[in-house]
Amino acid sequence: MLTQSPLHATELTPAKDLQYALTLIAAIWITGAVGHFTPIGEWGALFLYVIGSIALTLWYGAHFNAFEQIYITRKNLRQALTWAGTIGGVLFIVDVVNTSFYFKNGGAPMVEMERILIGMNLLYVFPVLILAEEFLWRGMLFSALMNRGVNKHLVVALTTLAFMLNHYAVAPVDFVERGLMAMMALPIGIANGYLVVKTKNLWSGVMLHGLTMLSMMCDLFIVPKLI
């Protein structure tokens, strides 16, 4: 059996990374659209999203020796985490303040999201979800577009838009709550996109995303009680 050399494997990566990412995204969105009209709902799409994103990214990085190419690296790690902590802290404060005004003005709580996170004990899988999201949007898709010479600002815009739209395909809640989640995804997508551009390190996005998820927990379970 012929063994593919590491050099040849590296040469293959530019032709396949975008194809792999877009194929997975299409499968997730189709599964979500079909599930919406069946008793399964969007759960199948959510499962494919989490498992598929992590599996594809890890397989791709290992198979093509391309982890650094998709920004899963230790390079610039201190800089990446410093920037992520600073920006994430600012977004945390802004989000909690905005949510406080939202509830003071009569905004409705995200009842279905609370039911899923607490009633179904899915709060504990959030770290895995964060990894899946950053691996797909700021790892596979982002790097594939950047490697093809697409303008960095356009790459940030496209990946953020896709990230926002994805919440309509995989979130098993009503469309109002999906819209709120998509709005929360906007600053995350923009901030994480530019962090990856600056640091070439995906762990910055993972850390910032984690901080924004903590702010979301405050939005759901702390701010309403204080207001």
User: Do residues 149 and 181 lie in contact, with contact meaning Cβ atoms separated by under 8 Å?
Assistant: no
pLDDT of residue 105: 85
Amino acid at 204: S
Domain ranges of the chain: 6-226
> Can you give the pTM of this predicted structure?
0.87
In this prediction, residues 144-172 reach a mean pLDDT of 96
Consecutive H or E run containing 84: helix 77-104
Each residue of 76-124: pLDDT tens digit? Answer: 999 999 999 999 999 999 988 988 888 888 877 778 887 887 777 777 8
Q: Which band of pLDDT confidence, cut at 50, 70 and 90, is reported for residue 1? A: very low
Classify burial at 179, counting beta carbons within 10 Å of its beta carbon; exposed 0-12, middle 13-18, buried 19 or more: middle
